[in-house]
Amino acid sequence: MANIGTMRHSCAHLIAAAVQSLYPEAKFGVGPTVENGFYYDIDFPEPIGEAELLNIEIRARELIKNGVKFEREEMTIDEAVKLFKKLGQDYKVELLSDIKNKGTTRVGDIEEVELSGDGVSIYKTGDFIDLCRGPHLDSSKEIGAFKLTKLAGAYWRGKNENPQLQRVYGVCFEKQNQLDEYLNMLAEAEKRDHRKIGAEQKLFFIDDIVGKGLIMWQPNGTIIRNEVEKLAVEKEREAGYVRVSTPHMAKEELFLTSGHLPYYKDSMYPPMVMDDGTYYMKAMNCPHHHIIYNHDMHSYRDLPLRIAEYGMCYRNELSGTLAGLLRVRGLAMNDAHIYCRKDQIKQEFKGVLDLTINFYKIFGLKDYWFRLSKWSPKHLDKYVNEPENWEYSQQVIREVLEESDVKFIEAEDEAAFYGPKVDTQFRSVIGREESMSTIQLDFAAKKRFSLTYTDETGKENNEVFVIHRAPLSTHERFIAFLIEHYAGIWPVWLSPVQVRFISVSEKHTAGAESLQKEFFDLGVRADLDSANETLGNRVRKAVAEKIPYIVVVGDKELEGGDWMIRIRGQEKQEKMSKQEFLERLNNEVSARQQ
Judged against a pLDDT cut of 80, whether residue 240 lies above it is answered with: yes
Cα–Cα–Cα angle for 349, 355, 357, rounded to 5 degrees:
100
If we measure between CA atoms, which residue out of 166, 142, 451 comes closest to residue 286? 451
Higher pLDDT, 259 or 338: 338
Q: What is the pLDDT of residue 111?
A: 43
State the average pLDDT over residues 241-261: 96
Amino acid at 144: G
pLDDT tens by residue, 69-126: 999 999 998 999 999 999 999 999 999 888 887 765 544 444 444 444 467 889 999 9
* Rounded Cα–Cα distance for residues 272 and 277 (Å): 8
State the average pLDDT over residues 2-31: 94
pLDDT tens by residue, 390-401: 999 999 999 999
Average pLDDT, the chain: 92
* Rounded Cα–Cα distance for residues 308 and 122 (Å): 55
* Rounded Cα–Cα distance for residues 328 and 375 (Å): 30
State the average pLDDT over residues 436-442: 93
Q: Could you tell me the strand order of the sheet in which 408-411 lies?
A: 242-243, 305-314, 330-340, 465-469, 433-442, 421-427, 368-373, 408-411
Q: What is the pLDDT of residue 393?
A: 93
Per DSSP, the residues of 260-310 read: HHHHTGGGSPPPEEETTEEEEE-S-SHHHHHHHHHHS--BGGG-SEEEEEE
CB 317 within 8 A of CB 269: no
If we measure between CA atoms, which residue out of 548, 421, 567 comes closest to residue 488? 548
Q: What is the pLDDT of residue 103?
A: 61
3-state secondary structure of 168: strand
Confidence band of 565 (pLDDT split at 50, 70, 90): very high
Confidence band of 380 (pLDDT split at 50, 70, 90): confident
CB 237 within 8 A of CB 355: no
pLDDT tens by residue, 187-215: 888 889 999 999 999 999 999 999 999 99
Percentage of residues of the chain with pLDDT beyond 70 = 97
Per DSSP, the residues of 460-518 read: EE---EEEEE-TT-BHHHHHHHHHHHHTT---TTT-S--EEEEESSGGGHHHHHHHHHH
> Which DSSP category does 533 fall into?
S
pLDDT tens by residue, 409-426: 999 999 988 899 999 999
* Rounded Cα–Cα distance for residues 338 and 242 (Å): 10
Percentage of residues of the chain with pLDDT beyond 90 = 81
Going along the chain from its start, the domains and CATH numbers come out as 4-191 (3.30.980.10), 206-247+286-486 (3.30.930.10), 499-590 (3.40.50.800)
